[in-house]
Each structure stands twice: as structure tokens, then as C-alpha cells.
């Protein structure tokens, strides 16, 4: 799978944070966030805390120079929100729940008492930004989508769910926005992946039927020709 350098940092931060909550070593006020409700909006004052997602999922976005919404990530259970607001007086982005969710607030003072967690979170955030930028601006469309599906698979697997069977909480237009693609391109690629035997897809329910092939698709550009040939055969062209 591509971007393997990010996996240890993400796993370490998630696993450590969840263990600390479950053991009661980290205190944090938990609250539920209903589907489509905002956890915070760009411009809101920063409350000097980050948010650990206990369950559910969110969409995080910022406005670009034209005022258009650009999705930066889809945090799920085990992820942390508002890391990009540390050191700021106002939130730079907006976080909205894609489904009924629950978050726990961790104050900066508490983070300072947990240096291992704090440093893991910061490192995760830096690696996420770097690797996402590389993926979205330098990778072909099919590679972006394959990596995206595999990343979700890994995230759901870390929650204890089946990593190859999950429901997409976000819409096709949102996926397209995040991957810097046209919505019709995402729909077409998902259809191609299905025809090539990589996935089963019904509405937002997805099953990865050929994990190894999808991982190969997420590798470097050298696999593009092979995959394109497989898609052509699958489509009967």
C-alpha cells in the first residue's frame, strides 16, 4: 500500500489515545454531535482543546481563495479534530458530522501532561498533510481513489470492524471534492473498479473483493498501464 510511512504514526496516535481514554488516564468531556450538526465552524474562537472521535465520522473543510469549500479530510473513530487550530485564536476550518457521532474534548493542559500522545498527534498531522498533498496533486485519478478506499478500510479495521466491508458515510460529490476530481469521474471510476472485480458496490455500501489488486492500484504510477488494460478488458473494449 502506498504511503506506508504514515501508518505507524496514525496507528500509534489512535491506539494510544483510545487506550488512555478507556483506562481513564485522560479526562475529557464527551458530547454527542447529530448528523449534519457542526462541531465548530471556521472563524469560531478556539476553545483550547482538541476533539477525539469516539464514534461516527466528520467532514472537515476550508474555504479556498474563491470562497469555495475544499474538503481536507474525513476523520472517523479514533481520529482527532482541531489539531490544525493549535496555536490559533480562531478555527481555520469547519467540522460537520456526517452521521450521529460522539467526541471527547481534550484540553491543551491535559495534552501537555501526555507528551507521547501530543507528539504522536502532531507528527500524524504533519504526515497527513504532506502525504495527502503528494497524493492529490501528483497521482492519477484511479490511484487517488484506490488509496482513499484502502485508507478507509484501514481506519474501519482499526475500529474492530470488517476492513473489507463498510459503508461510505460521505457522498460522491464530497469524495470528488476531497480527491480533486469531478463527481462524474468518481462515479465512473467506482463503476470501473466494480467491473474489474476489485469491489462490490451498492449505493454507499462497499465490499473490497480483491484487496491485493486494489493495493497494487494504490502503488506507484508503474501500475497504471496494467490497470488500464484490465479495465478495458472488463468493459469489453
pLDDT of amino acid 39:
97
Confidence of residue 21 (pLDDT cuts 50, 70, 90): low
Predicted confidence (pLDDT) at residue 66 exceeds the cutoff of 90: no
Q: Distance between CA atoms of 208 and 214, rounded to whole angstroms? A: 8
Predicted confidence (pLDDT) at residue 189 exceeds the cutoff of 90: yes
77 burial type by CB count under 10 A (0-12 exposed, 13-18 middle, 19+ buried): buried
Residues 59 and 125 in one domain: yes
CATH number, domain with residue 168 = 1.10.10.10
Residues 25 and 126 in one domain: yes
Number of domains present in the structure of the chain: 2
Residues 99 and 146 in one domain: no
Percent of the chain at pLDDT exceeding 90? 51
Residues 124 and 57 in one domain: yes
Which of 133, 160, 191 marks a domain boundary?
133
pLDDT of amino acid 130:
65
The parent domain of residue 165 ranges over: 139-234
Residues 123 and 151 in one domain: no
Residues 6+ apart with CB under 8 A from 65: none
Confidence of residue 124 (pLDDT cuts 50, 70, 90): confident
pLDDT of amino acid 2:
33
Model confidence pLDDT, tens digit, residues 89-105: 999 999 999 999 999 99
Predicted confidence (pLDDT) at residue 54 exceeds the cutoff of 80: yes
Q: Distance between CA atoms of 213 and 3, rounded to whole angstroms? A: 16
Amino acid at each position: 500500500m502506498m504511503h506506508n510511512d504514515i501508518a505507524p504514526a496514525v496507528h500509534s496516535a489512535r491506539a494510544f489515545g483510545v487506550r488512555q481514554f478507556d483506562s481513564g488516564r485522560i479526562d475529557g468531556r464527551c458530547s454527542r454531535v447529530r448528523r449534519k450538526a457542526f462541531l465548530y465552524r471556521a472563524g469560531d474562537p478556539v476553545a483550547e482543546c482538541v476533539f477525539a472521535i469516539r464514534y461516527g465520522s466528520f467532514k472537515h473543510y476550508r474555504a479556498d481563495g474563491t470562497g469555495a469549500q475544499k474538503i481536507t479530510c474525513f476523520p472517523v473513530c479514533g481520529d482527532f479534530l482541531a489539531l490544525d487550530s493549535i496555536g490559533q485564536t480562531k478555527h481555520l476550518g469547519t467540522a460537520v458530522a456526517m452521521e450521529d457521532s460522539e467526541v471527547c474534548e481534550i484540553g491543551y493542559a491535559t495534552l501537555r501532561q501526555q507528551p507521547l500522545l501530543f507528539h504522536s498527534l502532531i507528527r500524524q498531522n504533519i504526515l497527513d498533510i504532506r502525504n495527502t498533498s503528494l497524493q492529490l496533486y501528483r497521482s492519477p485519478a484511479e490511484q487517488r481513489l484506490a488509496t482513499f478506499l484502502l485508507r478507509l478500510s484501514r481506519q474501519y479495521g482499526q475500529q474492530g470492524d470488517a476492513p473489507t466491508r463498510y459503508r461510505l458515510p460521505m457522498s460522491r460529490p464530497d469524495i470528488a471534492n476531497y480527491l480533486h476530481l469531478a463527481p462524474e469521474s468518481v462515479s465512473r471510476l467506482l463503476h470501473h473498479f466494480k467491473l474489474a472485480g476489485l469491489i462490490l458496490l451498492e449505493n454507499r455500501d462497499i465490499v473490497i473483493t480483491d484487496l491485493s489488486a486494489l493495493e497494487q492500484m494504490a502503488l506507484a504510477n508503474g501500475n497504471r498501464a496494467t490497470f488500464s488494460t484490465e479495465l478495458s478488458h472488463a468493459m469489453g473494449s
